[in-house]
Amino acid sequence: MATPSVRSTGSAHPAPPTEWLRLLAEAQRQSAEAHATYQRVTAENHQLYLRTAHASMEALLGAAGVRLPAVGVDDPQPWPVAEVAVGATGAQVVPSGQPVHAPVPSGTVPGSGQPFRSGSGGDRGEATSAVPAPPPQATAVPSPVEAPAPGLVLLGPQPDALRPDGLPLDGLPLDAESIGALLLEVVAERTGYPADIINLDMELEADLGIDSIKKVEVLSRVRQRVGELPAADLSELASLRTLREISVKVAQLAGQIDDAGDQASAGPSPVSPASLKPPGTSAPGSPEDVDSEPAAGPEATDAPAAEVPTATNRPEPVRLAVRALPLAPAGLALAGLRDRELLVLDDSTRVGHLLVEELAAHGVPARLVTGLPAEARSVILLDKGDDPPAAFAAVRGLADRLSSAGGLLVTVQDTGGDFGLSGNGGRPVHGGLDALARTAAREWPLATVKAIDCARTGRSDKQVAAAIAAELTAGGPSITVGLPADGSRTVPLACPVAPGPVEPRADADSVIVVTGGARGVTASAIRELAAAHRPRLVLLGRTALAEEPAGLAGATDEAGLIRLLATGPRQAPPAELAAEARRMLAVREVRQTLRALENAGSPTRYLSVDTRDEVVLRDALAEVRRDWGPITGVVHGAGVIADRLIGAKTDEQFALVYSTKVDGLRALLAATADDPLSLLVAFTSASGVFGSPGQADYAMANTAVDHLLSAYAAAHPGCLTRSLAWGPWDGGMVTRTIAERFRAAGVELIEPAAGARAFVAELADPGGPTRVLRAAGDVAPDVLAGQGPVAELTLARPQYALLDDHRIDGAPVVPVAVLVHWFTGLARSWRPDTGPLVLHDLRVLRRIELQEPGERLVLRGRTRTDESARRGGLTVELGAVGAKYAGAVVADGPPPDPHRWRTPEGLEEVPEPYDGPALFHGPVFQVLDQVRLGADGGVAALRPRDVEPWLAVPWTVDVAALDGALQLAVGWTLQAGVGAALPMSIRECRIHRAGTDWGAARVVVSARRTDGMSAECDAAVLSEDGTVLAELLRVELIRRPDLTEG
């Protein structure tokens, strides 16, 4: 992540879905540099989910250096519209009727409003109960509507501008009146509103119901018709309220208006479009009532109701489990930790006072506060997990400053130090804080963000404060870090996990309650469950199954319904017409899902309830128990999204999104507390695992559900408990064009039928992990937001006092081996696993000396754009003003060849290797023993290194051993006739064993070449049994001009 990170499964084909996050990071960096205005306006207007789907996928591609073209509005692709969330005060029980074969419309992907194809489930014989009859003649699948472009992607290259007749617009007048007519035409085309009910002075949101996604779509279409416009000014268009304001601005940009004020003050325009094209899209309401949240839903198809295409060449979704991976601290401080006074927000514990003292001891200025001042830019949220709305509000107050100017945010929670994975943390609601931090990291690429889970049980307040301070000053840039009470340090990591023995927990006698199961991805999954096991199903949803007025059955999409509603007796604003059309489509979809389930052989009931209302829920389920017996399973798929960047999200939006997911689950668990549950499954989201721009509330809610289910699993070991986070699905707002680009770059999307099968498989693995991530193709480790990880350190005594024994020309100098430690620490924060690590092209640009009072150094990583990016590649620089060391880091290097490192021949013993200026090292660095050298190389044993002052630094590698290998290389240059030399670069440094526990070891040097002024060799550190611990390949040594041979 760090959000939980994901290890590669080794597939040779799909690019790792972490590259979603890589290119997201790159996109954010470029946006911060080139489109500051765009970012600022986006923060006010953005409905982000589509941008997330696109940008997340881009991030997957960034490692391979692939930039997706900006997406305008391509050929329309189908995606049905989700309804606006509407609460229900009571239960509407839908009795059964005779099964009716009818097409099932596409649903919406949870959390996004994006569709998936119909779920699987063929005829399973006669149904045992019936479903409500459909409205007269309402048997057609809602026709597709076109997906809007992700974010303000209209800033990128666009198709040539066209006239309404398809010819270029060259030569046509681009005055405000003409642009206004074009806008009215596009709005009518894209919303289905009849031309005679819209005018230029209507507000896009209040009057027309056009949210940010729809606004982007309209502007993208206008740009296709008008042509290129300045990018920064285009971002301003997204902030304008009325169509007239937009028409004036577009005309300005086209150079047709010098004085916008005169045009803007003109009265309402009578202009209306001369002709309307077939309707394209209408935007979903906001907030949006959905099931769960795969980042992109499958495309709608014309498949029959109870069928999902099953033939596919794509692999089944990979299965990963979130684990707590032990990881040593990086030995690096958070970037910006000492830039300004750090405010510790804590009004309920003693830890805050003690933390301020601990930070002061580390040279970090800090102050305890009970509220945040308006200018705050460096903040620790301490003990705010019990009040998620307050925690979110505090972070929201920082958004403007941290997103535009950078700063520091740290959240601290107590969920056992393992992010609730054990289920024994005792405070599951705190789990949302780390998801809030991950989302902030995605949205604020200029800021430094960290989430710490510090276990308090078994620790004194002073120990808690010391552990937090140590993480801030030496833990490095990992976003998500756990600090268990035993003193260890962990990061969440998603690792491949194989399925266990098949033991289905659902059969024809099961009674399973499902929230969100009548629409969306959950409906697709439940249809597959019905086809496989025929359980009795109780579907809970917000959609009240009102009868549809007569005369509307012929309209099969939102735009068509709007046109018919507009001609009816009730005169309503366009926004109300659109909302009514969406409600009707939702009812149709629910009815068709119910028929599909009955046709598959599952007796089904639908209850229209607000699942957060425990009293209503208990009453509704009591009737189910009287008829069918006790509840045996719960599937919680319901959710609501109201996507906005953190700074633009309201308290009301947060409360609705968070409550629907979290309070809905709590109410379900309370209402079924006395039932013998054998399975409990929640659909959660990759937004909680990785963070998702615009979805802080949804990410927090899903992560809290993760924690609640982990706690439930610990308390109910006999119940199959699964928190199932989905990766991106194929289709919907990811149009065929975009999907083809993803596939061309190796990014796989979950095929809808495969996703449904994966869900059913999870219900047959009772011994599996509680938290599971399902994604298509390989998944690689999570990355930080922005351009790469950044950390800092202060090179000063007493921590680095050992450098006094590494002096050149009388000055204590940082050795190359310490550079390897710093680079490795940064890389491990980026790639938190224990596999091999390769540092490429390490170069000494300028030496770094230990000075008083100490020098602050910044270590900055940038994602690679070559093939190595697929393996976590970074370009790294270290320095203060200008780089002093540079190199690159790649994970997953080749395995070592132990036969390569034989002892060279013709060696002679060197009894006193440090008796001379060539090996200038003082006692601390004198680690070589039993040294033997010759023209072809050398070998030496290493003295014990687990002594002071080596213990003063939390090393990430055995620096003493690596320096010993380089010392032996320097000794070899003397034997080879080059004279005293210094290592200045290493082509490859392969670290095969993480950590510093290398034990008794020896070093070997193998000659490559020499000339009068330089030499090149290879070196290695080997354990006593010959295991290769580290390799230094093509070490280049340059003769020191200040010393002669000797």
Kind plus residue range of the DSSP H or E element containing 883: strand 882-891
d(CA 540, CA 634): 11
* Cβ atoms within 10 Å of 908's Cβ, excluding its own: 10
Bridge partners, residue 986, by sequence: 842, 1035
Q: What is the pLDDT of residue 640?
A: 85
Paired tokens of 896: 């070592």
| Residue 109 scores a pLDDT above 90 | no
Bridge partners, residue 324, by sequence: 492
Q: Which of 154-163, 230-239, 246-255, 288-297 has the highest mean pLDDT?
A: 246-255
d(CA 294, CA 291): 10
Q: What is the pLDDT of residue 631?
A: 98
Measured N-to-C along each axis, helices 36-45 and 18-34 cross at an angle, to the nearest 10 degrees, of: 110
Give mean pLDDT, residues 927-931: 96
Cα distances (angstroms) measured from residue 21 to each of 45, 226, 441, 788, 809: 23, 33, 11, 11, 46
Do the beta carbons of residue 830 and residue 872 sit within 8 Å?
Answer: yes
Say which residues have a Cβ less than 8 Å from residue 179's Cβ, sequence separation at least 6. 222, 226, 246, 247, 248, 250, 251, 254
Of 280, 285, 303, 290, nearest in space to 108 by CA: 290
- Our separate counts of H helices and E strands in the chain read 24, 36
d(CA 407, CA 382): 17
Paired tokens of 91: 């239960």
Do the beta carbons of residue 250 and residue 222 sit within 8 Å?
Answer: yes
For the chain, where do the domains classified as CATH 3.40.50.720 start and end? 93-145+291-321+505-543+590-775, 328-488
Bridge partners, residue 494, by sequence: 6, 322
Q: What is the pLDDT of residue 235?
A: 58
Split at pLDDT 50, 70, 90, the class of 641 is confident
Do the beta carbons of residue 77 and residue 144 sit within 8 Å?
Answer: yes
d(CA 988, CA 542): 59
Give mean pLDDT, residues 751-756: 88
Which CATH code for domain 93-145+291-321+505-543+590-775?
3.40.50.720
Give mean pLDDT, residues 906-923: 92
The C-alpha angle with vertex 929 and arms to 841 and 912, in degrees rounded to 5, equals: 105
SS3 831: coil
Give mean pLDDT, residues 333-352: 90
d(CA 869, CA 25): 13
Split at pLDDT 50, 70, 90, the class of 1042 is confident
481 vs 810, higher pLDDT = 481
| Residue 85 scores a pLDDT above 60 | no
| Residue 464 scores a pLDDT above 90 | yes
Say which residues have a Cβ less than 8 Å from residue 899's Cβ, sequence separation at least 6. none
Q: What is the pLDDT of residue 797?
A: 87
**DSSP code, position 142:** P
Strand 536-541, strand 511-515: pairing = parallel
Cα distances (angstroms) measured from residue 159 to each of 647, 948, 1009: 33, 67, 57
Split at pLDDT 50, 70, 90, the class of 775 is confident
Give mean pLDDT, residues 184-202: 85
pTM: 0.74
Of 632, 617, 576, 527, nearest in space to 122 by CA: 527
Do the beta carbons of residue 795 and residue 850 sit within 8 Å?
Answer: yes
Mean pLDDT of the chain: 76
913 vs 95, higher pLDDT = 913
* Cβ atoms within 10 Å of 329's Cβ, excluding its own: 20
Paired tokens of 2: 């760090």
* Cβ atoms within 10 Å of 917's Cβ, excluding its own: 11
The shares of helix, strand and coil residues in the chain, as percent rounded to the nearest 5, are 35, 20, 45
The owner of tokens 């591609």 is: 61
| Least confident range of 48-57, 527-536, 606-615, 990-999 | 48-57
Q: Which of 18-22, 91-95, 986-990 has the highest mean pLDDT?
A: 986-990
Q: Assign a CATH topology to domain 790-1039.
A: Thiol Ester Dehydrase; Chain A (3.10.129)
Q: What is the pLDDT of residue 891?
A: 62
| Least confident range of 218-227, 572-581, 943-952 | 218-227
Q: What is the pLDDT of residue 233?
A: 56
The C-alpha angle with vertex 860 and arms to 859 and 863, in degrees rounded to 5, equals: 145
Model confidence pLDDT, tens digit, residues 381-429: 997 878 999 999 999 999 999 999 999 999 999 999 999 999 987 778 7
| Residue 576 scores a pLDDT above 70 | yes
| Residue 32 scores a pLDDT above 50 | no
**Quick one: residue 458, left, alpha or beta (phi over 0 = left, psi -120 to 50 = alpha)?**
left
How buried is residue 911: exposed, middle or buried, by Cβ count under 10 Å (0-12/13-18/19+)? exposed
Q: What is the pLDDT of residue 58?
A: 41
Split at pLDDT 50, 70, 90, the class of 133 is very low
Q: What is the pLDDT of residue 506?
A: 95
Kind plus residue range of the DSSP H or E element containing 771: strand 771-775
100 vs 449, higher pLDDT = 449
| Residue 966 scores a pLDDT above 80 | yes
| Least confident range of 356-370, 628-642, 839-853 | 839-853
Q: What is the pLDDT of residue 511?
A: 98
Q: What is the pLDDT of residue 542?
A: 85
Q: What is the pLDDT of residue 485?
A: 94
For the chain, where do the domains classified as CATH 3.10.129.110 start and end? 790-1039
Q: What is the DSSP string of 457-470?
A: TTS-HHHHHHHHHH
Model confidence pLDDT, tens digit, residues 618-627: 999 999 999 9
Phi then psi dihedrals of residue 473, to 5 deg: -95, -15
Q: What is the pLDDT of residue 132?
A: 41
Do the beta carbons of residue 80 and residue 145 sit within 8 Å?
Answer: yes
32 vs 998, higher pLDDT = 998
d(CA 16, CA 871): 9
d(CA 582, CA 207): 16
Say which residues have a Cβ less than 8 Å from residue 339's Cβ, sequence separation at least 6. 378, 408
End-to-end Cα, the chain, rounded Å: 53
Beta strands, E only, 504-603: 511-515, 536-541
Split at pLDDT 50, 70, 90, the class of 342 is very high
| Residue 431 scores a pLDDT above 90 | no
SS3 293: strand
Give mean pLDDT, residues 691-698: 90
Q: What is the pLDDT of residue 686?
A: 84
Give mean pLDDT, residues 875-896: 70
CA 264 to chain centre: 42
Q: What is the pLDDT of residue 926?
A: 95
Paired tokens of 716: 């109910």
Amino acid at the residue 511: V
Say which residues have a Cβ less than 8 Å from residue 615's Cβ, sequence separation at least 6. none
User: Which residue intervals of 366-459 are DSSP H helices?
Assistant: 388-396, 399-405, 432-443
Model confidence pLDDT, tens digit, residues 642-654: 888 999 999 999 9
Q: To the nearest whole percent, how much of the chain has pLDDT over 90?
A: 42
Q: What is the pLDDT of residue 228?
A: 64
Q: Assign a CATH topology to domain 328-488.
A: Rossmann fold (3.40.50)
Strand 288-290, strand 639-641: pairing = antiparallel
| Residue 280 scores a pLDDT above 80 | no
SS3 455: coil
